[in-house]
Amino acid sequence: MPLNIKEVQEYWRGQNVPQQWYSNKEPFSLQWFNDLSKKRFKTFYSYLHKDAEFEYHSGEKVLEVGTGIGTDLVQYALNGAKVSGIDLGEDQVSFTKLNFDVRGLPYDEIKQGSAEDIPFDDNAFDLVLSFGVLHHTPNTELAIQEVRRVLKEDGQAIVMLYARGWKHYLKRCFLHGILLGKWFRFGFSWQAVYNEVSEVNGGAPKTGIYTKRQVKKLFKDFPEVVIEKRRLGEFFEYAPYRSRILPEFITNILHLFKAQALLGENWLITAYKAPPPKPRSLLGVLFKNY
């Protein structure tokens, strides 16, 4: 039976709204929101502050698809962007608005909406961000088409989808799927295993985890797409569930040898709606004044 988007909406509420567990400060205070930002950008997703290009879209119209608590959207607003956001959940919309309100930051629109039917006009935004969201919606391909639709003709999308890195094969497939028997218990369905073990509280309705070939197919309608792996993740950048983190020198060695390209657990996808400029010929470059 096909997954209904209402099931996804029902799951991503209450304790399952991400980031809430990052801080022990007074919930929904400015200090709490600040602590969430610090943990998100310094510990859990250290690559995000640079790769999301927060400081480079001043005065532009930015949409976030899947705002969560609004941590990322706030960064664009702090840097002068005209921001809007949607999320499937009522909780997330309320949390995001509060995040803006306690800072006295303006926003255009923050409202409920599905990634598969984005409630904005065609060609409306310079930039669309969707970080760790579209792999959870029932029709990820349709959601990516919607992202493309609302982008201006020269617009850009920045999307994170889960990748099949070390954590996928070792933790999800081998430890949970084989050793703990979940693959057998779920009728030899790997997708059911991914759904069960991919989120903090487990049991998500859908969690897509993709190969590079699958990502290319999803973004086939964008004429220029840059796809890179990011984040070694738990035990390397942070200690999961209050356990232990590996010595820093191990992580530094892995980064030195660009191990993220093989082991990274996130795909960082930068997609451009307009085709890239045609490259000059070698002779044209050599004989061009500069």
Q: What is the 8-class DSSP label of residue 279?
A: P
pLDDT value for 246: 85
pLDDT value for 279: 80
Range in 2-6, 52-56, 74-78 with the lowest mean pLDDT: 2-6
Has residue 256 got a pLDDT over 80?
yes
**Domain 5-163+206-232+264-278 is in which class?**
alpha beta
CB 226 within 8 A of CB 219: no
pTM of the model: 0.94
Taking the alpha carbons of 76, 82, 88, 91 in that order, is the dihedral positive or negative?
Answer: positive
Q: How far apart are CA 154 and CA 135, in angstroms?
A: 25
* Angle 181-183-185 from CA coordinates, rounded to 5°: 70
Average pLDDT rounded to a whole number, residues 65-73 = 98
- Within 13 A of 17's CA, how many CA atoms are on the CB side? 20
Q: What is the 8-class DSSP label of residue 114?
A: B
> Phi then psi for 111, rounded to 5 degrees?
-150, 165
Has residue 213 got a pLDDT over 90?
yes
Has residue 290 got a pLDDT over 70?
no
Domain boundaries, the chain: 5-163+206-232+264-278
Average pLDDT rounded to a whole number, residues 250-270 = 91
pLDDT value for 223: 97
Has residue 248 got a pLDDT over 90?
no
Mean pLDDT (the chain, rounded): 94
Confidence of residue 2 (pLDDT cuts 50, 70, 90): confident
β-pairing, 151-163 with 209-210? parallel
> Phi then psi for 108, rounded to 5 degrees?
-80, -65
% of the chain with per-residue pLDDT over 90: 83
Has residue 280 got a pLDDT over 80?
no
Q: What is the 8-class DSSP label of residue 280?
A: P
pLDDT value for 257: 84
Average pLDDT rounded to a whole number, residues 146-172 = 97
Average pLDDT rounded to a whole number, residues 187-191 = 96
Residue that wins the pLDDT comparison between 115 and 283? 115
